[in-house]
Every structure is written in structure tokens, then in C-alpha cells.
Amino acid sequence: MQQFLDAMPEVSGNSVNGLGESKLRRATPFFWHPPKIQTHGELQKLVTDHQHKSKEISKHFSPTPPGGRGPDPVEQAVSKKSASAAEWVRRIKTFALENEADIVGIARMDPMFVYEEYELNDPWVIVIGVAMDHDELAQAPPSFENPTAAVVVAKEYNRAARACRKLTNHILEQGYYAKAWQGPYASALNMIPAAIAAGLGELGKHGSIINRELGSRFRMSAVTTDMPLLSDVPDEFGIDDYCTRCQACSNACPPDAIFDEKQLVRGVSKWYVDFDKCIPYFGETLGCAICIIKCPWSRPGAGEKILSRLQKRASMHDVNQE
Ligand code: SF4
Ligand code: SF4
């Protein structure tokens, strides 16, 4: 762990992220961005080099992993095929779900989805989620002896990449512009706010999205396009309230990095993870993932049961109020 603590730059990651700032602003390029344009590039290199010491993890994070990262972009067709926005939404979602995506949503582009120092004016963003196997992720934290939980993360980043690249090509073939965005490295598109706007879920206390079916057990990719589409709406199903009472992730986090109360971050009150506390443990354990697997919503089938319990409690509360 000491090597990661020693590599922490003078500037706190929390300051870069805007912790405590009251003014609304876009996010600054950070940890997963190209090392040269951000403050924590050396630390990123140390963390990823450490992961690549595991042959099993390295194989899946290589440029040519098992199963591949998907096709190269095709030429955009010269003429645009015509359909209503509602019909394009139906076709695009069907295509995505038949081509490796497990969940998909659409949001109108918002400048707040774009990192500072980047420009991105495509009118629509389609966000894709792919599930990670619960039992594999439950072996977190990964280690050199048992890297399973890191391997499933890498494998599903690759599936998410394939899903968005196939969808991109499908849209290009219909005559519209499209561009694929895949992780784990970042560039212009800040995927979490886009995914929330696209109805994929709500932000949880552990700083990841919680989807009503998959919990936090999924990875994301996206496609931006000028195809005429319609926006989904944010899916609000009570996570804010649930996280206020639940402490499963914050109690399980070894370096105690998860704040139990919302924090002011770039002008918005939101759940936030202390980057400076998380990252040395994340680095040492080849990717940690404890908080996302300890989240009760991440258990297969749990979302439906929790929602039904919450609804029963709400109706009992209503009866008691009468
Ligand atoms: S990834 Fe690990 S160290 Fe970081 S917040 Fe989650 S549980 Fe804590
Ligand atoms: S473990 Fe509990 S507090 Fe943490 S994100 Fe999940 S529901 Fe919220």
C-alpha cells in the first residue's frame, strides 16, 4: 500500500473533483484520463502496472483480449434512412439488447456530461450497461492468488466495448453520425451523469449507479449520435432515502472512504467517495470492488424484493397517517 501512498501527488484528488465547492461546474479530467492531461497520471500508471502483474487480469485488459473489443467503425452510409424518433428508439434499443447490452437508455446531451477541456456537441447519448456475474464479483477484493473479481470487471468492460461498437456501426449504416465511448479509460464523456439522465439508475452512497435490476453490478459504455431519438427519464426509485439508512458499503470499506452523508461537490449535494482514501487500497487490491458487491441491490433478484418491501412500508405509513 505504501507505494501508492508515496505516489499521491500534492494536490488532493478530492480538490480536483471539487469536494466542498459551492459553484456548479463541469468535472475536471481525472484519474482514468490520459496521464499527461491530469494531476494523477503517475498514480494511474502505478495502479494499472500493478494490475498487469497478474497475467490473468492483464490478458483481459490487453488491446486484444479474449472475445475482442468489437469491430472498427464502418463508413457512414451516404443517405439517411427515415423513421420516426419513437421508431428509431425502438430499433436502437432492440439492436443493443440483441448485441451484448443488458440495459440501455437514452439521454439528450447536456454540457454537464462533458469533462472540462473537451467539446462534445452530439445531440444524443445512448448509454449501455452490461452485467457482471455476481458470484465472480463476490470474490472481491481481487488478489494475485485470486484475481477473479478483477477479471470479471475487465471481461465486462470488453463486452460493453463490443456492444457500443456494434451499435455505433449499426447507426452509421442507417446514415447517421455515431461515435463509440468505452471504458475503463475516459475522455470527453462523463458517463455517470449521462447514465442517470438516461434512466439507468440512481447514484448510491458508494459513488456508483444503482440500477433497479442489476444493482451496481454492471459496467457501462455509450454511443453519441445525431440520429433523431427521444430521451428516457431518470429512474427514481428511492435510492437516496435507502442509502441514508443503509451503511452496508461504508461499513465494509476497509479504508473508510465512503462518506455517510452527502457532500457538496461542484455545486451539487451528492454521495461521494473520498478518492485519497480509496485509491491506495484500490491499487493494492487490484481494483477492490468491495462496495459494489456489498450493496444489497447487487444481489441477483434483490431489487424486486427490496422495492416490494419499500412499497409495503410506504403503504403502511400512509394507512397510519389516515
Ligand atoms: S472501491 Fe474499495 S476502497 Fe474504494 S470505496 Fe469501494 S470499498 Fe472502499
Ligand atoms: S450499500 Fe447501502 S448505502 Fe451503500 S450504496 Fe448500496 S444501498 Fe446505498
Q: What is the pLDDT of residues 247-285, one digit of tens each?
A: 999 999 999 999 999 999 999 999 999 999 999 999 999
Say which amino acid occupies 31. Answer: F
Q: Does 149 sit in the ligand 2 pocket, CB within 6 Å?
A: no
Low-confidence ranges of the chain (pLDDT < 70): 322
Dump pLDDT digits (tens) for 139-175: 999 999 999 999 999 999 999 999 999 999 999 999 9
On the 0-12 / 13-18 / 19+ scale of CB atoms within 10 A, 23 is exposed
Q: Does 153 sit in the ligand 1 pocket, CB within 6 Å?
A: no
291 CA to centre of ligand 1 in angstroms? 6
User: What is the predicted pLDDT for the residue at 261?
Assistant: 97
d(CA 277, CA 19): 14
Q: What is the DSSP letter of 72?
A: P
- The DSSP string of 165-179 is HHHHHHHHHTT--EE
Task: Tell which one of 274, 291, 298 to mutate to probe ligand 1, the residue whose CB is within 8 A of the most ligand atoms.
Answer: 291
User: What is the predicted pLDDT for the residue at 213?
Assistant: 97
> Which atom of ligand 2 sits closest to the CA of residue 205?
5
Q: Does 249 sit in the ligand 2 pocket, CB within 6 Å?
A: yes
In whole angstroms, how far apart are CA 147 and each of 52, 208, 231, 278, 293? Answer: 11, 21, 38, 19, 15
Q: How far is CA 277 from the centre of its chain?
A: 20
Which residue lies with its CA nearest to atom 2 of ligand 1?
288
249 CA to centre of ligand 1 in angstroms? 8
User: What is the predicted pLDDT for the residue at 294?
Assistant: 98
> Which atom of ligand 1 sits closest to the CA of residue 141?
2
Q: How far is CA 30 from the centre of its chain?
A: 15
User: What is the predicted pLDDT for the residue at 119?
Assistant: 96
Name the 3-class secondary structure at 135.
helix
**Closest-CA residue to 18 (of 275, 265, 258):** 265
On the 0-12 / 13-18 / 19+ scale of CB atoms within 10 A, 130 is buried
In whole angstroms, how far apart are CA 272 and each of 21, 129, 259? Answer: 13, 22, 6
User: What is the predicted pLDDT for the residue at 293?
Assistant: 97
Q: Where are the domains of the chain?
A: 2-321
Q: Does 18 sit in the ligand 2 pocket, CB within 6 Å?
A: no
Name the 3-class secondary structure at 15.
helix
Q: Does 281 sit in the ligand 1 pocket, CB within 6 Å?
A: yes
d(CA 137, CA 130): 13
Q: How far is CA 253 from the centre of its chain?
A: 19
Q: What is the DSSP letter of 59?
A: H
Q: All 3 cell numbers of residue 133?
A: 456475474
Q: What's the alpha-carbon Rg for the chain, to the nearest Å?
A: 20
Q: Does 258 sit in the ligand 2 pocket, CB within 6 Å?
A: no
Paired strand residues for 225: 124, 178
239 CA to centre of ligand 2 in angstroms? 8
> Which atom of ligand 1 sits closest to the CA of residue 292?
6
pTM: 0.96
